Amino acid sequence: MASAVVDLSAAGVASPRVDAELLAAHVLGVSRGRLLLVDSLRPEELTRFAALVAERAKRLPLQHLLGTAAFRHLELQVGDGVFVPRPETELLAGWGVEHTAPGATVVDLCSGTGAIALAVADEAAPGRVVAVERSPAALTYLRRNAETFGVVEVVEADVTDPGILGDLRGAVDVLLCNPPYVPAATPVPPEVALDPAEAVFGGDDGLTVIRPVVALAAALLRPGGVVGIEHDDVHGRAVPELLRADGRFTEVTAHEDLSGRPRFATARRA
């Protein structure tokens, strides 16, 4: 274990000990907390562990090696072709849970793995949850996770198409979105670079998808319905301004993540 931590640290992995322990637990089929009860790894387990550590040292995402990603109370299936949900997005999901009344209709745009949609379905009592995604690869994981964790309707569509979800016009109570929002020229960590580019980058200014999402939210939400949109930390002013400029929203609010960086914006449909 010590040598694995050294190797991962030398490779620039941010949390080498945690990652090594999670990989060891994965090989052994136990929780990380039970590693203290394990005296040693058998030869075949050690070989597999060493191979996984080597892959992580190449900066392959930990979640891809494990096949799952933790998100709030869920363990979601992830892999090549789908954006790995990040801890900061749990804040937007939590806001969505808090604003979902029993029986509410909830829409999750740019759903990816379904993390936000499934968290709301798991922790609140919505009447209907619709998850929208366009990527065929991401849809594979979205459908798997939806089948595993709850009743979420999956819709294959492009959120920049203003005509989608015609049956929900003016009927949505909560609309949430974690779109691609990183400005195109922004350097990203190696792990993020392995996520699908279309799920990470949002055009030159990072707002290419957010702009049509704001208009779509205004069309879908009922009067009094709410929207929450995650954004890059350089968009702390830009996204609230887009919501205000639309003219159909009130109570526009900027939210920070746990490190104090701008992270998502919310508003209420007038």
Provide the annotated active-site residues: 83, 178-179
Pick from 115, 121, 44, 52: nearest CA to 78: 115
> Residue 82 and residue 256: Cα distance in Å, rounded?
25
Q: How far is it, in rounded angstroms, from Cα 154 to Cα 96?
A: 18
- Give me the phi and psi of 266, to 5 degrees please: -130, 160
CA distance to 133, 165, 234, per residue, from 206 (Å) = 19, 24, 9
Rounded Cα distance, 234 and 206, in Å: 9
Q: Which residues pair with 268 in a beta bridge?
A: 226, 250
The pair phi, psi for residue 69, each rounded to 5°, is -135, 130
- Reference 129, options 176, 90, 85, 163; nearest CA is 176
Tokens for 252? Answer: 């526009």
Instruction: Give the N- to C-terminal CA distance of the chain in Å, as an integer.
Output: 56
Please give the single-letter amino acid code of residue 190.
P
